[in-house]
Amino acid sequence: MAAKIIDGKAVSAAVKEQVRAEIERDGLDIGLAVVIVGDDPASRVYVNNKKKACEVCGIKSYEYALPAETTEEQLLELIDALNSDDKVNGILVQLPLPRHLDEEKVIKRISPLKDVDAFSAENVGKIMIGNYAFLPCTPAGCMELIHSTGVEVSGKECVVIGRSNIVGKPMAMLLLHENGTVTICHSRTKDLAEVCRRADILVAAVGKPNFVTADMVKDGAVVIDVGINRLDNGKLCGDVKFDEVSEKAGWITPVPGGVGPMTIAMLMKNTVMAKRIQSR
């Protein structure tokens, strides 16, 4: 029995429509500043997609494209200016940054009230204790996709492959907040396939093409593929071997068209939340 496809494009379009309707209904004037340093092609694609999403939702988009040789001091000065600019409700610095810039220092400089990526230590800490306003966009998008299946997280065995600060760790916390029983796997995990086979909900965020194979997946599981990898032939693929896993899973996200569109939709949602918090 082939898995049902979780359509990230459709779910993200619904989220953006909710955001647009809320902004229109309440007459909100919202601005998102996106800072890009250098000319990384993947980063440029992301930034352009964020601008398009802002247009769809009715959010003003302010782009700051800085040359690769921008100094740390210049970048931090710009963030300070954006922190104190009332027109700007959310600040996003597109990662990765050129090597001479300290990402941690840059993220730390963004006001936690405008940190719509939820990368700052303060916002991460709030996620740990369950008292958060912003959620990291990719894990939040994954949760929306899981909810769209109608599968309850509560009481389920959930396995997250990957322990990054951006996806793996916050993903585990969000599943835990919904009463999932959560295991985080990584490169040192023993009997990885056996652990994965227990999962009712399996989230792959490991950054290795076609890493998850059918023998690692429980019959009928919900499989969320966060990976986006480019093969030698130029094709995009996820961390999950889609063709074989889709024959065994109950639900599965495709790559592309699964988690990717959700990340930007959740960013729009976070930017509205930022406006609400700043207006209190």
| 191 is a catalytic site residue | no
Whether 132 contacts 273, CB under 8 Å: no
Say which of 94, 200, 218, 239 is annotated catalytic: 94
Render the burial of 80-108: b for 16+ CB within 10 Å, e for the rest: eebeeeeebbbbbbbbebeeebeeeebbb
Among 16, 50, 241, 275, the one annotated catalytic: 50
* Catalytic residue status for 235: no
Residue 50 is a catalytic residue:
yes
**Cβ-contact 114, 89 below 8 angstroms:** yes
Catalytic residue, candidates 114, 115, 117, 169: 117
* Burial status of residue 66 (CB atoms within 10 A of its CB: 0-12, 13-18, 19 or more): middle
Residues labelled as active-site residues:
50, 94, 117
